[in-house]
Amino acid sequence: MKKLILMMLFVAVSVSAMAQAGDAIIGKWANASGEDHIYIYKKGDKYFGKLGWIKFPDKNGKPKVDENNPDPAQKTRPVLNLELLKNFTFDGDKYTDGTIYDPKSGKTYSCKMTIGGNTLKIRGYIGISLFGRTEVWTKVK
C-alpha cells in the first residue's frame, strides 16, 4: 500500500513539474525583427499567442487591418490583438500540433516551437517540417 501511495505521489509531482516546464513559454516575445511583440498565454491545456504590440501600428493614418486574409469577412479586422498562434500542446520537450498565422501573407502554417532560455525557435511549415522556415523570437522582460 505504501508503494502504491508513493508511486501515485511521484506521478502527481512529475505531471505538475511537466506542466510548469511547459508554462515557461507564457509571456511576451519579440519577433526576429523586433517590430512585433506576441503575448503567449494558456487556455486550458493549450497555448495561444496574440499580436499585442506593433512598432508601426498604423498604415496611411489608420490602424493596420488583416488585409491579406483570404476570407473577405476578415480583411477589416484589426491586426493588433490578432491571435497568431493557436492550439499548441507541450510534449515535455517542444510545443507541437499548433498553427501560426502570418498576417503579411494571409497564410496559416503548421507549426512547432522549441524554447531555450530566452529564445523561442518557431518553425512554420506546410506538410512536413522539412519544408518550412524557422524564426527565432526573444523573450521581452
Mean pLDDT for the stretch of residues 70-92: 97
The domain containing residue 116 runs over which residues? 2-139
Closest CA to 137 of 51, 65, 64, 45: 51
The per-residue pLDDT for range 29-54, each reduced to its tens digit, is 999 999 999 999 999 999 999 999 99
**pLDDT at site 3:** 53
- In the chain, the number of structural domains is 1
Q: Which amino acid type is present at position 53?
A: W
Name the residue with cell 508503494. Answer: 3
Contact 88, 98 (CB under 8 A): yes
pTM of the model: 0.83
Q: How many CB atoms lie within 10 A of CB 98?
A: 20
Q: What is the mean pLDDT of residues 67-77?
A: 97
Strands (E), 44-118: 46-54, 58-59, 62-63, 83-90, 95-102, 107-116
Of all residues in the chain, the percent with pLDDT exceeding 70 is: 86
Q: What is the CATH number for 8?
A: 2.40.128.520
